[in-house]
Structure 1
Amino acid sequence: MDKHFLIVSFLFCFIVAVTPLKCVTCHLRTRTDRCRRGFGSCIAQTFESCMSLKIFQDNILQLSYMVCQKFCRDLTFDFHNRTYVHKCCRYNYCNIEI
């Protein structure tokens, strides 16, 4: 019984490990919560994760951008009276939520 459990556990882990990460793409999403350009999905390659970039002005979302991004990292900075929020995640379609 223990052998069977180990084999099933190994196979499950293997299947999960090779399942590709899928992300939402949108190259121009407006304040109206509508993708204007590049809507679809991408499959993350090696060292890629799902990424979302949101641009705020006066704490109001102006634009957002979503793609698969290599060597992604979370980052927030201010530039010319705008706040740029760069977020990364690693589960399917997670960049639509962040």
Structure 2
Amino acid sequence: MNRHLLLLFSLFCLVVEATSLKCVTCHLRTPADHCRRGFGVCHAQKYESCMSLRIYSNNTLQISYMVCQRFCKDLTYNFNNRTYIHKCCDDDFCNFRV
């Protein structure tokens, strides 16, 4: 009986892993090169989406940041002559698209 429960639990874990949202992680990406820090993949948990934060100065992308984010909301604001664009999405690796 225990072997059957273990098999069922393993199958459930595989299904959950296969269906979870996958997002790119990068804690420091510049437009001139690839990710400098924190490159990888995160699996979104309950209430999480893929998130990207892009920071522009004079309409030129300076840096971006990408992670799985809980309770993510789209937001754009200006501060110190920079524009911050916070975007959320729900497709695999959608936060990597520039």
Common fold, TM-score beyond 0.5?
A: yes
- Equivalent residue pairs, number: 83
CA distance in 2, matches of 1:68, 1:39: 12
> Could you tell me which residue of structure 2 aligns to residue 89 of structure 1?
89
| Paired AA for residue 57 in structure 1 | S
Counterparts of residues 1-98 of structure 1 (less than 5 Å): 19-98=19-98
Percent identity over the alignment is 65
Query: Which portions of structure 1, spanning 4 or more consecutive aligned residues, are displaced by more than 4 angstroms?
Result: none
> Could you tell me which residue of structure 2 aligns to residue 3 of structure 1?
none
Aligned CA-pair RMSD:
1.6
| Paired AA for residue 24 in structure 2 | V
TM-score of the two chains, using structure 2 as the length reference: 0.80
Shift of 1:33: 4.0
Shift of 1:31: 2.0
Residue 95 of structure 1 aligns to a residue whose secondary structure is helix
Structure 1 portions without partners, runs of 5+? 1-14
Structure 2 portions without partners, runs of 5+? 1-14
